[in-house]
Amino acid sequence: MTTRMLGEKVQRVEDDRLLRGQGRYVDDLAQGALEVAVLRSPHAHARIVEIDVDPVLDVDGVVAVWTYDDLTGPMAEPLPLLIPHPALTHGRTQHALAKDEVNHVGEAIAFVVAEDRYVAEDAVSRIRVTYEPLPAVVGVEAARSAEHLVHEDVPGNVAARLEQATGDADAAIAAAPHRLSLDLEVERSASTPLEGRGTVARWDPDAGRLTVWSSTQTSTGVRAAVATKLGLDLGQVDVITPDVGGGFGVKIVHPWPEEVLVPMAAMALGRPVKFTEDRREHFVSSAHERGQLQHVDVGFDDEGRLLGMSVQLWHDHGAYIPYGLIVPIITSTQALGPYKPEAYKVVFESLYTNTVIVTPYRGAGRPQGVFLMERTMDAIAAYLGRDRAEVRAANFIQPDEFPYDQRMTFQDGRPLVYDSGDYPQLLDKLKALVGWDDFESVRQEARREGRRVGIGLACYVEGTGVGPYEGAHINVETTGKVKVAIGLTSQGQGHRTAFAQIVADELGVPFEDVEVTSGDTRRMGYAVGTFASRAAVMSGSAVALAARQVKAKALRIAADALEAAEEDLEIVDGHVQVRGAPASRLALGTVAVLSNPLRYAFDEASKLATQFTVGNPDKPPVEEDDEPGLEGRDFYSPERSTFAAGMHAVVVETDPDTAEVKILRYAVVHDCGTLVNPMIVEGQIHGGVAQGVGGALYERMAYDESGQLLNASFMDFLMPYVTEVPERIEVDHLETPSPLNPLGIKGAGEAGVIPSAALFASAIEDAEGIPIRRMPISPSELYDLRRKAAENAGSVENAGSVESARSEPVETKESR
C-alpha cells in the first residue's frame, strides 16, 4: 500500500538543487545577451525639459538607447491600471519611460542597451537631462494637506475614497457605555526578495516567436501585457519563469517598465537582451508597502465587546496606482479579524505621494488592519482593566456561527464570508503554548532581577485562495512518469513538493515519479498568479481535480484490459490492480500506452500500442468524447476565498537603559485547514515571523522631505539577520478544513508576517506601560517615548527606572 503523502513532512525536492547553488535564475540565463542599464530620476518630482543622449552614442559597446520619444503605439501609452475599481476615480499609472515629468526618485527615464552592464552604466552616466524641479509630496500628512499636488489633474492627491459599513457605527459608538479613540501609524517597508526583478527576451525571427523569461509571480499576466504592448498575438509569446529568488508580492506587479522594454529591444535589435535589477534600483524603482495613518473610534460594553467601531485610513500608495485599491481594501475588511463588532464603518483615502509605488507585500494590507484592531483590543483591555486575551475572546465569532458573513465586500469583489474556523480553540492553544496565564509570575521574577519583560498577543484572519481560477494539466508518460504542469508560478515555496504529494495520493503513484512544472505558459496557458496565499488552495485543488480525471481514465482503460469492472479496480504504487488481487496488475505506463493507439511503432513499448494490438476492432480507435493520451486537465474556481486564521504571542525584554528589545519567546498557533506538508507550512511561518520581526523592529523606508530615500541599501535598510530573529518559534496547528475546496486547504504563505506590528506593539507596551501607537519602533524611538512618558508623569529623572515606567496608558477616555 502506498503511504499517504498528504499531511506528511516530506523533504522538499527543490532544496538539494537550490542549496547546492544549482538554481537557474534569470541572470543565469542567456549568457552573452546584451545588457540593460536604466537612467532613473534623481528627483522626486520634476518636469523633464530636455534629454540629451548624444554623448552616449560615442561610448564603445553601446548598442541602442531609448527615451519616451522613441516609443510608439501601445508602448507610448501609460502602463496598465491592472485592477480597476469604481471608487478609483483618479487612477494614474506611469509610462514605460517617463513622459515630460517624473514623480519619484528612481522612475525610469532612459533605457540603454550595451554589450554588458558595465558599459551600459558608463553610458547612462553620460546622458544629460535638464530638469525643472517641482515640490515633492512626501508622506501621508503632506499628501492630505494637498499644498502641492503629485499629479496636476488629481485634486487633493486623492486617487480613491471608499467607505464600507455594516450597521450604524456612529450611533452605536455614541450609545456605548465606554468609548476610546486612537491615532495610529504604520510605516513603509518592502518585500526585498533576495533576487530583484529581471527579464530576458529572445526574438526568433524565423518562427516569429518571442520568448521571455521573467522573475515574476505571474507568467500569464506578463505574457498578456507583453503581447498587448508589442502588438503580438498571445500565441506568439511564451513567458517562462525560471527559478525565482523570492517575490513576497512585489513581483505580482506587471508589467514593470523593463518587462516590456526588454522584449521590445530584443525584437528591435534581433539579439537576446537582459535586464538584471540591482539592489539600489530595487529600493527606488520596484514597490513598497504598509504606510498608513489610521484613526479609530470605538464604543464597547463592560466586557469589552465591540458595539460600534469606526475607522478612517489614509493610505500612501506612492506616485502611481497600477495595482488599484487591493491593499487598502484588505486593510479595511481584514481588520475585522476573528471578531464581530455589532456595527462597523471604515473609510479610506488612497493618496498619491512622490515616492515609490505601493503594491501588495506579504500580508498585503492585513498587517495594518490587524494593527488597528489589535491596538484597539489592547486599549480596551487597559481601559477596563481586563485581561487582553479575555477581551478578545468576548468578541470572537463562535465555531457554530460559520459560515459567518461580515457583511462587507472583500478584495475580490465578493462577500466577506468566513468559511470555517475555531477561534476560541486557537486562543486556548496559544495561551497554553506560551503560558499566558502564568506570565505575571514571570514578570515578577524578572523584576526581582532588575529586568523588564512584557508579553503580547495578536490575532488575525486571512482571506486566502482568492479566485478567479487556477488549472493543472497532468500527463502520464508511457514510462509511468507523471508530468504535472500548473500555470501559477513558484518563487521558493516548495510547490514541486507539495503538489507532487497531492498527485501521489490522488493517483496512487510513487511521489518520486511525479514532476511538477510551474509558471511556463507553454505548458499551461491559463493561470492567474502566485499571491494572496493562494497556490496551495487554487493550484492544489486544480491538481487534485486533474489527478482525479487521470485516475478515472486510467481505471476505464484498465478495466477493459483487465476485463474487470472499474469499481473493482484501484491504483497502488503506480499500478492498476483488481482490489486485493495485485497479481493481475497493470503499470500506469502501460495504461498510457493503451490510451494512445499508434500507427507507427518506434520502440518496443510502442509496438504494443499500434492499431493492430490496441482496442476493439469494432469501435473507432479513439472513441467519441474521448481523446488519446492518459491526461487530465481541470480548473478550480471557488465561489469565494477561504479564511485561514492564527494567533501569535511574543515575550520581549526591554533594556531599561538602552531601550533595546530582545525576543525571549515567540509562539504561533495557526489554522490553514488541511496541512499538505507541515514542514513547508512551518517554514512559511518561520520566514513570515522573521520578515515580521523586520517590519516591527528594524525596517522602514527613510524618505527625507525632498523625497530622497536615505536608506536604499542593505547597510541602512535593516533587514534582520539570523541573529535578530527568534532562535526558536514554538508552533502549534489547528486544522479546520475549508468546505470550499476538495482537500479542505486554506492558504499559509503570508500568515507569519501578518500580526507582527500589532504583536510587538502589544508586548512592548506591556513591558513599558507606555502606549505604542506607531510601528516600527527602534530603541531610539522607545527611548524618546520613555522620556515623554516620564515628562508627562512629571519625573524626568526616573525615565530609566523600572518602577516608574509602568504607568497606565494614556488614552482619550470617555465614560458614562
Residues of this chain that bind another protein (CB under 8 A):
117-118, 121-122, 125, 278-280, 657-660, 698, 700, 702, 710-711, 716, 718, 720-721, 723-724, 778-780, 783-784, 787
For residues 603 and 657, which CB has a smaller minimum distance to another protein in the complex? 657
Strand-pairing partners, residue 154, are none
C-alpha cell at position 319 = 506616485
Cα 570 off chain centre by: 39
Cα–Cα distances in angstroms (integers) from residue 2 to residues 507, 570, 777, in the given order: 10, 11, 52
**Residue 296: CB minimum distance to another protein, A:** 28
DSSP 791: H
Say if residues 478 and 605 touch (Cβ distance below 8 Å): yes
Query: 66 or 717: whose CB is closer to another protein?
Result: 717
Going by DSSP bridges, is the β-strand pair 209-214/453-464 parallel, antiparallel, or unpaired?
Answer: unpaired
Backbone angles phi, psi at 160, to 5 degrees: -155, 150
Q: Torsion angle of alpha carbons 804, 809, 812, 816, nearest 10°? A: -100
- Least separation, in Å, of the C-beta of 657 and another protein? 5
The nearest distance, CB 282 to another protein, in angstroms, is 11
Residue 181, strand partner residues: 297, 812
The count of other CB atoms within 10 Å of the CB of residue 771 is 20
Look up residue 811 and give its three cell numbers: 488614552
- In the complex, the smallest distance separating the C-beta of residue 724 from another protein, rounded to whole angstroms, is 5
- Strand ranges inside 97-205, DSSP E: 101-102, 108-114, 128-133, 158-166, 178-186, 198-204
Pairwise CA distance, residues 604 & 160, whole Å? 66
- Cβ proximity to another protein: between 414 and 451 the closer is 451
- DSSP per residue over 517-557, as a string? EESBTTT------S-TT-IIIIIHHHHHHHHHHHHHHHHHH
Contact, 286 vs 189, CB < 8 A? no
CB of 754 to another protein, least distance (A): 23
Rounded CA separation 667/672 (Å): 16
Number of other residues whose CB lies within 10 A of the CB of residue 73: 9
Residues contacting 440, CB < 8 A, separation 6+: none
Q: Which is nearer to another protein, 120 or 296 (CB)?
A: 120
**Closer residue to another protein, CB minimum distance, 400 or 657:** 657
Residue with Cβ nearer another protein (526 or 714): 714
Of 616 and 723, which CB lies nearer to another protein in the complex structure?
723
Q: Shortest Cβ distance from residue 28 to another protein (Å)?
A: 18
Cα 309 from Cα 300, distance rounded (Å): 9
> Cβ 784 to another protein, closest distance in Å?
7
The beta-strand segments (E) located in 449-505 are: 453-464, 470-476, 482-486
Select 396 or 717, whichever has its Cβ closest to another protein.
Answer: 717
Nearer to another protein, 264 or 689 (CB): 689
Shortest Å, Cβ 173 to another protein: 37
Query: CB of 780: closest distance to another protein in angstroms?
Result: 4
- CB closer to another protein, 183 vs 716: 716
We find the least distance from the C-beta atom of residue 538 to another protein, in angstroms, to be: 37
